[in-house]
C-alpha cells in the first residue's frame, strides 16, 4: 500500500517481535565490544549499555527500550559484576547501581519517545499547514464551482489516503454527490472516480441530511449516525451551509489532527464556493444589465432611424394626395425621390438589424465561392446610387482585381456599410477613395474619406455595437450597427478590420482578407 505524509505504516503481528530481536543484537554487539577491549572500567561499561536503550527508544518507542534496559542490566550483572557469570552480587552498592541504571534507562526511553512524538506532531502540523496553504493557493484562482468541488475531493483523497466525497444541494432541495475520489493506492477499484458520481444510500443520506441541516459533523467519531461508512463535515460560511465534505472511515481510522485538517479544508472550500457563486451571480447581473442597455439603445436607435424617414415618406405622400394639382411635375418628382430615399434608408436600417440578429444567433452560414472583388464593390456602389448621387468615387487597383473565396452577399454588405459610413462622415464635395491591394497571402480593401476623422479616444470603440461618435460635428443618422456588423462578417471570413485617421484629414477603414494560394486569375477589365 502506498503511504503518504498523513498515513502511518501498519504494524503487522508477524513483525512485532523484530524490535526486541534487534535490541538483543545491539546488546550482543556492545557486549562483544566491551569484552574485546578488556580494560574498560565498570562505570564506562554501564554507559556503553545505555546506548542500545537510547537507540531502541529512538527507533521503536517506549516498551522496546524498557526491554532493552532490563536485558542490558542482566548482561552487565552476569558478565561483569563479581561474582561473574551469576546474577548475585558481593556488594550491596551494586544493587543501587542497578536501580539507578534501570531508572535512567526508563527515563531516557520514555522521554525519547515523548520527544519523538512531539517531533512527529510538529512535522505533521507543518505538513497540514503546507497542505492547507497549497489548497488555498490553488483554489484562489478557481471561480468555477465544479472545478472547486473536484479539486477539494482530489486534494483530501490524495493527502489523507481516504475515499472522499463532496455533496451539494440540488435544485430540488435534496443532496447530490458532486465529486467522488479514491486515493491513488485504490485507483484499481473502478467504483470510484466514475464520470457519474454515485447516489447516497438511505443511511448515508439520512446522516448527510442531518449534518447539512444542523451544521454539525455526523458519522464515525461522532455521537450521531456513528454506524455509517462516511464522516460528514459541513462546509459552512456565516451565511449558510454550502455543502458537505465526507471521508470514508469504515475500514480506516483518523487522528485528531486530521479531523482539524478536514475542518480547515471544509472552511476554505466553503469560502471558495461562496466566492464562485457570488461571481456567477455578478456575471448574470452584468449580462442582464448589458442586455437592458443594448435593448434600450436598440429601441432608441430604431425608433429614431425609422421615425425620421417614415415622417418624410408620410409628409411627401400627404402632400401629393392633398395638393396634387398645385405642384409641377418636377415638384412631384422631387417628392417621389424623397419617398424613395426614405424607403431605402428604412430598408438599410432593417437589413442591419436582421444581419445583427443572424450573426448573434449563429444562423448566418458562410456560402463560400470564388468572387471578383471589383464585382462586389460595383454591386455595393449600385445599391448606394441614390445616396452617392453626385459624389465622386475613386477606385484604384491593378489592371485586374484578384479573386477571393468569400460569401459575396455578406462581403457586399460590408462594402455598403463602409461606403455609406464614409459618405455620412465626410464633406459633401469631397471624394471617396476605394483601393484594393493584392498580396501573396492576403487582400486589402481600403475605404478613405476626407472628413473630420475619428477622435483618438473613440477609435477603440467604433466597432462596438450601437456605438456612435459623440461629438456635435458628427450628428448623423444611424443605429451604430453598421461597423459592428462589418467586423463580425470579416472575422467570420478569417480576416480583420481596422480604423485609423488619414494624415491629411479623414478616416480610413482597412479590411484584410486571406487570399488562398490557388486563386483563379480574373478576367482583365478594359
Per-residue pLDDT tens digits for 229-275: 888 888 887 777 888 888 888 655 666 667 777 787 777 777 777 77
Measure the CA–CA gap between 410 and 404, rounded to whole angstroms.
13
| Inter-CA distances, 247 with 156, 191, 253, Å | 8, 15, 11
Task: Tell me: pLDDT of 161 over 70.
Answer: yes
Beta carbons of 297 and 480 less than 8 angstroms apart: yes
DSSP three-state, residue 81: coil
CB contact burial 171-188 (16+ within 10 A = b; e otherwise): eeeebebbbbbbbeebee
Q: Tell me the mean pLDDT in the region 326-352.
A: 74
Q: What pLDDT is recorded for position 8? A: 43
Q: Tell me the mean pLDDT in the region 462-476.
A: 68
Q: What pLDDT is recorded for position 12? A: 42
Task: Tell me: pLDDT of 189 over 60.
Answer: no
Q: How sure is the predictor about 496, in pLDDT bands with cuts at 50, 70 and 90?
A: very high
* CATH architecture assignment, domain 142-281: 2-Layer Sandwich (3.30)
Q: Give 182's contacts (C-beta < 8 A, 6+ positions apart).
A: 157, 163, 164, 189, 191, 192, 193
Measure the CA–CA gap between 187 and 239, rounded to whole angstroms.
37
How does strand 393-396 pair with strand 164-169? unpaired
Measure the CA–CA gap between 96 and 440, rounded to whole angstroms.
105
Q: What is the CA radius of gyration of the chain?
A: 44
Measure the CA–CA gap between 234 and 269, rounded to whole angstroms.
10
Residue 92: all three cell numbers together: 550491596
| Consecutive H or E run containing 88 | none
The tens digit of pLDDT for each residue in 29-69 reads 888 888 887 677 777 787 788 888 888 877 887 788 888 88
User: What is the DSSP secondary structure assignment for residue 386, as one 8-state letter?
Assistant: H
Q: Tell me the mean pLDDT in the region 473-495.
A: 76
User: What is the DSSP secondary structure assignment for residue 195, as one 8-state letter?
Assistant: S
**Where do the structural domains in the chain lie, given as residue ranges?**
13-136, 142-281, 363-514
Measure the CA–CA gap between 73 and 49, rounded to whole angstroms.
8
Q: What pLDDT is recorded for position 500? A: 92
Q: Tell me the mean pLDDT in the region 181-188.
A: 68
Q: Give 247's contacts (C-beta < 8 A, 6+ positions apart).
A: 156, 160, 162, 163, 164, 165, 230, 231, 254, 262
Q: How many CB atoms lie within 10 A of CB 149?
A: 26
Q: How many CA atoms lie within 13 A of 126 on its CB side?
A: 6
Task: Tell me: pLDDT of 491 over 70.
Answer: yes
- Weakest mean pLDDT among 8-17, 53-62, 83-92, 170-179: 8-17
Looking at the chain, how many residues does it have?
A: 526
Q: What pLDDT is recorded for position 190? A: 45
351: alpha, beta or left, given left = phi > 0 and alpha = psi -120 to 50?
alpha
| Identical fold, 142-281 and 363-514 | no
Beta carbons of 237 and 274 less than 8 angstroms apart: yes
DSSP three-state, residue 504: coil
The tens digit of pLDDT for each residue in 271-318 reads 777 777 777 777 777 777 766 665 665 555 555 556 667 777 777 777
Q: Give the CA angle between residues 45, 47, 49 to the nearest 5°.
A: 75
User: What is the DSSP secondary structure assignment for residue 239, as one 8-state letter?
Assistant: S
The tens digit of pLDDT for each residue in 94-123 reads 777 778 777 877 787 777 777 777 777 777
Q: What pLDDT is recorded for position 512? A: 92
Q: How sure is the predictor about 349, in pLDDT bands with cuts at 50, 70 and 90?
A: low
DSSP three-state, residue 27: helix
Measure the CA–CA gap between 15 and 365, rounded to whole angstroms.
74
Among 136, 389, 384, 396, CA closest to 266:
136
Q: What pLDDT is recorded for position 511? A: 93
Among 169, 461, 392, 148, CA closest to 276:
148
Among 227, 235, 256, CA closest to 165:
235
User: Which CATH entry fits the domain spanning 363-514: 1.10.10.60, 3.30.565.10, 3.40.50.720, 3.40.1080.10?
Assistant: 3.30.565.10
Amino acid at each position: 500500500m502506498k503511504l503518504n505524509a498523513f498515513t502511518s505504516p501498519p504494524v503487522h503481528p508477524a513483525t512485532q517481535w523484530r524490535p526486541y530481536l534487534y535490541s538483543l543484537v545491539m546488546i550482543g554487539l556492545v557486549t562483544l565490544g566491551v569484552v574485546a577491549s578488556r580494560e574498560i572500567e565498570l562505570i564506562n561499561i554501564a554507559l556503553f549499555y545505555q546506548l542500545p536503550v537510547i537507540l531502541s527508544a529512538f527507533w521503536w518507542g517506549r516498551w522496546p527500550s524498557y526491554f532493552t534496559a532490563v536485558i542490558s542490566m542482566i548482561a552487565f550483572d552476569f558478565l561483569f559484576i563479581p561474582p561473574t557469570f551469576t546474577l548475585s552480587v558481593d556488594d550491596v552498592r551494586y544493587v543501587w547501581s542497578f536501580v539507578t541504571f534501570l531508572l535512567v534507562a526508563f527515563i531516557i526511553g520514555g522521554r525519547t519517545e515523548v520527544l519523538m512524538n512531539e517531533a512527529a506532531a510538529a512535522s505533521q502540523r507543518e505538513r497540514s499547514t503546507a497542505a492547507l496553504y497549497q489548497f488555498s493557493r490553488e483554489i484562489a484562482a478557481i471561480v468555477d464551482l465544479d472545478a472547486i468541488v473536484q479539486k477539494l475531493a482530489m486534494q483530501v483523497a490524495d493527502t489523507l489516503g481516504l475515499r472522499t466525497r463532496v455533496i451539494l444541494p440540488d435544485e430540488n432541495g435534496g443532496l447530490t454527490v458532486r465529486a467522488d475520489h479514491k486515493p491513488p493506492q485504490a485507483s484499481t477499484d473502478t467504483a470510484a472516480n466514475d464520470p457519474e458520481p454515485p447516489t447516497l444510500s438511505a443511511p448515508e443520506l439520512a446522516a448527510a441530511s442531518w449534518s447539512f441541516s444542523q451544521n454539525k459533523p455526523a458519522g464515525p467519531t461522532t455521537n450521531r449516525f456513528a454506524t455509517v461508512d462516511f464522516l460528514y463535515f459541513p462546509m459552512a460560511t456565516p451565511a449558510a451551509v454550502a455543502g458537505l465534505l465526507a471521508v470514508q472511515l469504515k475500514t480506516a481510522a483518523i487522528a485528531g489532527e486530521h479531523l482539524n485538517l478536514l475542518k480547515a479544508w471544509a472552511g476554505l472550500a466553503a469560502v471558495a464556493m461562496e466566492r464562485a457563486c457570488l461571481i456567477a451571480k455578478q456575471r448574470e447581473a452584468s449580462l442582464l444589465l448589458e442586455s437592458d442597455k443594448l435593448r434600450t439603445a436598440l429601441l432608441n436607435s430604431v425608433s429614431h432611424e425609422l421615425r425620421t424617414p417614415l415622417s418624410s415618406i408620410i409628409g411627401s405622400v400627404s402632400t401629393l394626395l392633398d395638393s396634387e394639382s398645385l405642384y409641377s411635375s418636377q415638384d412631384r418628382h422631387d417628392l417621389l425621390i424623397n419617398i424613395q430615399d426614405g424607403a431605402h434608408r428604412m430598408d438599410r436600417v432593417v437589413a442591419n438589424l436582421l444581419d445583427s440578429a443572424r450573426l448573434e444567433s449563429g444562423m448566418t452560414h458562410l456560402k463560400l465561392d470564388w468572387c471578383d472583388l471589383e464585382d462586389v464593390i460595383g454591386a455595393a456602389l449600385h445599391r448606394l446610387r441614390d445616396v452617392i448621387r453626385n459624389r465622386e468615387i475613386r477606385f484604384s487597383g491593378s489592371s485586374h482585381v484578384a479573386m477571393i473565396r468569400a460569401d459575396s452577399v455578406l462581403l457586399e454588405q460590408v462594402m455598403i456599410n463602409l461606403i455609406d459610413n464614409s459618405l455620412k462622415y465626410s464633406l459633401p464635395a469631397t471624394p471617396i477613395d476605394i483601393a484594393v491591394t493584392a498580396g501573396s497571402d492576403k487582400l486589402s480593401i481600403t475605404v478613405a474619406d476626407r472628413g473630420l476623422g475619428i477622435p483618438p479616444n473613440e477609435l477603440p470603440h467604433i466597432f462596438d455595437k450601437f456605438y456612435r461618435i459623440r461629438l456635435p460635428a458628427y450628428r448623423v443618422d444611424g443605429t451604430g450597427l453598421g461597423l459592428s456588423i462589418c467586423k463580425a462578417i470579416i472575422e467570420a471570413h478569417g480576416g480583420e478590420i481596422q480604423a485609423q485617421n488619414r494624415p491629411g484629414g479623414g478616416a480610413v477603414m482597412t479590411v484584410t482578407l486571406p487570399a488562398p494560394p490557388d486563386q483563379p486569375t480574373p478576367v482583365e477589365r478594359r
